[in-house]
């Protein structure tokens, strides 16, 4: 009976994983040039490994970076990155977008009735990428321990994505795996393609104890204007999350 119950549980888990497959971003055609490299990293509020983070970001040389859980004591990190990323939206509270490309416009979406340190869920910037206008939005949704708040966040994110007409890229900490009902419904409602399905990013540690990450809660999504050249995960950088690096090409229809 125990063997049968375990087999049934494994079958259910496998079926749930398979349901996460639809909604993936299309692969770029062979020979496609990279249009953007976007990195996202939940820095973790108590992360003091600034030099390691800078060295990593210098090494991957992303065109744009979305950082979550930026705090006032990370001001030195932002200052040291300003030479590589002269364009920035956000300061030392929550979401920050760094870009090599000029920022034409920006905005934010907050949770109503929350204090400033807990309100920001979406920060967006319109980038001028060699003459092309692209919107990049950083995302940090509520954790699943607060299901009602997370549900409200994903509805706000869905409305935001549906309201955009320009080419759109979302990057950040979604706090939910691709096979969850909420994120599957989000991809169906918005038509955005997901860049990672099974590459885990969390938890990297718990109470100071190093762990192997199990769940892919950090991700990149993009509109049909784009295709995937590949997604990689970064190393341990003092956070409980791994960075995500997405190489993005123009889709064939957009390139033509």
Task: Convert 144-165 into a string of H (helix), E (strand) and C (coil).
Answer: CCCHHHHHHHHHHHHHHHHHCC
Euclidean distance between CA atoms 140 and 157, whole angstroms: 10
Name the more confident of 137 and 3: 137
Q: Is the pLDDT score of 14 beyond 60?
A: no
Query: How much is the pTM?
Result: 0.92
Find, among 37, 94, 51, the residue nearest to 222 by Cα.
37
Eight-class DSSP state of 129: E
pLDDT of residue 13: 47
Query: What are the CA-CA distances from residue 52 to residues 14, 35, 44, 212, 244 (Å)?
Result: 36, 27, 14, 19, 16
144 pLDDT band (50/70/90 cuts)? very high
pLDDT of residue 4: 57
Average pLDDT over residues 98-112: 97
E strands in 51-93: 64-70, 87-89
Burial code (b: 16+ CB inside 10 Å, e: under 16) for 24-35 equals: ebeebeeebeeb
* Cα-to-chain-centroid distance, residue 243: 9
Eight-class DSSP state of 239: S
Domain ranges of the chain: 2-255
pLDDT tens for residues 36-91? Answer: 999 999 999 889 899 999 999 999 999 999 999 999 889 999 999 999 999 999 98
The CATH class of 2-255 is alpha beta
Strand partners, 247: 37, 230
Strand partners, 39: 65, 245
pLDDT of residue 10: 47
pLDDT tens for residues 195-247? Answer: 999 999 999 998 889 999 999 999 999 999 999 999 999 999 999 999 999 99
Neighbours of 110 (CB within 10 A): 15
Name the more confident of 167 and 2: 167
Euclidean distance between CA atoms 72 and 91, whole angstroms: 8
* Cα-to-chain-centroid distance, residue 30: 25
Average pLDDT over residues 170-189: 96
pLDDT of residue 118: 83
Find, among 31, 89, 99, the residue nearest to 63 by Cα.
99
Structure tokens at 61: 């040389």
Write 48-52 long-range contacts (CB < 8 A, 24+).
Answer: 48/73, 48/238, 49/237, 49/238, 50/74, 50/76, 50/77, 50/80, 52/237, 52/238
């Amino acid at each position: 009976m125990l063997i049968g119950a375990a087999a049934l549980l494994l079958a259910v888990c496998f079926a749930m994983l398979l349901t996460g497959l639809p909604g993936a971003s299309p692969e770029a055609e062979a020979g496609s040039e990279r249009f953007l490299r976007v990195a996202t990293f939940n820095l973790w509020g108590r992360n003091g490994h600034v030099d390691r983070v800078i060295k990593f970001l210098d090494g991957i040389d992303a065109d744009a970076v979305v950082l979550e859980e930026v705090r006032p004591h990370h001001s030195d990190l932002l200052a040291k990155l300003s030479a590589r990323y002269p364009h920035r939206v956000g300061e030392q509270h929550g979401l920050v977008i760094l870009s090599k490309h000029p920022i034409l416009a920006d905005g934010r979406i907050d949770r109503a009735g929350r204090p400033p340190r807990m309100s920001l869920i979406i920060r967006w910037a319109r980038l001028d990428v060699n003459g092309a206008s692209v919107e990049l939005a950083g995302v940090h949704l509520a954790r699943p321990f607060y299901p009602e708040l997370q549900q409200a966040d994903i509805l706000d994110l869905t409305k935001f994505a549906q309201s955009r007409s320009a080419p759109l890229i979302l990057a950040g900490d979604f706090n939910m795996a691709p096979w969850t009902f909420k994120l599957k419904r989000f991809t169906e409602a918005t038509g955005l393609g997901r860049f990672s399905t099974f590459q885990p990013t969390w938890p990297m540690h718990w109470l100071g104890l190093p762990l192997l990450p199990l769940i892919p809660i950090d991700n990149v999504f993009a509109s049909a204007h784009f295709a995937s050249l590949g997604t990689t995960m970064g190393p341990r950088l003092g956070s409980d999350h791994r960075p995500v690096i997405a190489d993005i090409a123009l889709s064939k229809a957009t390139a033509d």
